[in-house]
Chain A
Amino acid sequence: MSLKRFTEHALSEWMRGKGPQSDIVISSRVRVARNLSGLPFPMLATSAQSSQVVRRVEEALYAAKELPVLKEAELIRMDDLSELEKRVLVEKHLISPQLAEESRHGAVVLSKDEAISIMINEEDHIRIQVLYPGFQPQEAWRIANQLDDWFEKHLTYAFSEQTGYLTSCPTNVGTGIRASVMVHLPALAITKQLSRLFPAITQVGLAVRGIYGEGSEALGNLYQVSNQVTLGQREEEIIDKLASVVKQMIQHEQSARRRLAEGTPIQLEDRLYRSYGVLSQARVISTKEAMERLSDLRLGIDMGILSDIDANVMNELIVMTQPGFLQQYAQERLDSQERDIRRAVMIRERLHHEGTEDEQ
């Protein structure tokens, strides 16, 4: 069952954490917004026009299957998914909440490794997204660019010489590009340097937010840094600027970790061990506490204080302990109390099955 494969197979490539600088950078993502010429944007499109968009993308996709990266890609319609299945895709960052909840004739094209997801009829007709583990925004752009070129052979985009690629929202016009990098900054948080760092980042035209997008809380010291400007700069300039700022954040986090390690106060060591204790023994745990403890666990692993634990545990568990995932795993609807119990079970199992490949 291919749908099962997408929603039940727990791990996307980006959660495996095998990328450059993966001790600090969880994932890199590039999204490109495009619209088809001659059709109104999804907000004003009629039902017939929206389904025409899906059909045209599907035809282009058929031709694009020659592309190795899209070889076993599949087009999934939102109308064919249950609420829970959609939620799991949102939690895996493969689709947006808007596509899941509000779109008409919404659909997504997913590559087999889930590194590529192409949303159809979200705010724009087409949103090409490439999501890679670790710090590789340039590589993500290279693939997104290639996919864009391929689609453009078969589809005519809304484009103007003056303003570039035309998008539904004026904040995306021009290149239509949004590049973001998800970083784990526990040492900067402990040493209280984030409040100085973030204003500087906003000043150079980048945005910082929590991991589930606009308005979401920054749980587990995880932050998304992304570009704001899409018009008037070349794509490569946008990506390079983001990359160079994130590089500096990585250096700051590294030096904060070094300083912490030099004279690791017993209080810090105690806190990290306690978090490990809670995660491996708790019977009831909330999302918020799980995220905070997992952040500690990951810091402990990266600083060499906690050993014999796979560093990917955090990357996997931050997604797998989300409400949708837990319910998918349990194969039933769970209220929030039941979820806190199941979350504790899942974390214990994952920590105790350390080193085994298959967690089924």
Chain B
Amino acid sequence: MQCQECGERSATLHYTKIINGEKTEFHLCESCAREKGEQMPGIDGSFSIHNLLSGLLNLDTSISEGQHQVHDETPSMGVRCPTCGLTYTQFSKIGRFGCSDCYQAFDDRLDPLFRRVHGHTSHRGKVPHRTGGRLKIRREVEQLKQDMSRRIENEEFEEAARIRDRIRSLQEKLAGQGG
């Protein structure tokens, strides 16, 4: 069954509202239900991983509000993913991202969440093979740049020059592979 609001996604939320004896049926997708500001029946009371998560997310908000009272929290809560349209507020309620671009859109608010759940904020594991070659080179370039500045600070200019040449050749390699 299609969602009666957007007519695009499948309806996952089905419920009947009875007001003054008048029955109205609703068939909505998760996203439109959020948009309409409807309460998700049965979800709030349940004890799912997503509820726990949204608890963590809301906790983050209250903590950051306490710490940075200069910042106005409201606009940032309303940040919207330009690709799928999910807002940060929706994300913090559902505990799930709408698409991979949400990670970018909510970027400045995710680190505390990741730290809480995983104890870390950056990936150290496997890298896809096809794109991995370039990523590996970029990681090496970053490392070499740090080395170079350290050498310069220590006035080890000869060594720094050698590292600079190495960085150049790696960057040419990257450019040669197309961007």
Tell me if B99 is interfacial: C-beta within 8 Å of chain A. Answer: yes
A171 to B53, CA, bound (A): 8
State whether B30 touches A43 (Cβ < 8 A).
yes
CB distance from B93 to the nearest CB of A (A): 13
Q: Which residues of A contact B48 (CB under 8 A)?
A: 214
* A:37-70 near B, CB below 8 Å: 37, 39-41, 43-47
Q: Which residues of B contact A235 (CB under 8 A)?
A: 125-126
CB distance from A33 to the nearest CB of B (A): 12
What's the A-B contact tally at a CB cutoff of 8 Å?
Answer: 133
Interface-central residue, A104, A123, A173, by most chain B CB under 10 Å: A173
CB distance from B40 to the nearest CB of A (A): 13
State whether B98 touches A44 (Cβ < 8 A).
yes
A3-11, A85-93, A151-159 - interface stretch: A151-159
State whether A170 and B110 are in contact (beta carbons under 8 Å apart), knowing that A40-B99, A214-B49, A233-B124 are contacts in the complex: yes
Interface membership of chain B positions 4-17, coded 1 if the CB is closer than 8 angstroms to chain A and 0 otherwise: 00001110100000
Instruction: Determine chain A's interface SS by DSSP, over half rule.
Output: loop
Number of B interface residues in the complex (CB < 8 A):
44
A39 to B97, CA, bound (A): 12
B residues with a Cβ closer than 8 A to A are 2, 8-10, 12, 30-31, 47-50, 53, 83-84, 86, 94-100, 103-104, 110, 113-114, 117-131, 135, 138
A residues with a Cβ closer than 8 A to B are 35, 37, 39-41, 43-47, 102, 104, 123, 145, 148-149, 152-153, 156-171, 173-175, 177, 205, 214-215, 228-235
10 A-B pairs besides A37-B100, A166-B103 with CB distance below 8 A are A41-B97, A43-B98, A102-B12, A157-B128, A159-B131, A162-B123, A170-B53, A173-B103, A174-B118, A214-B49
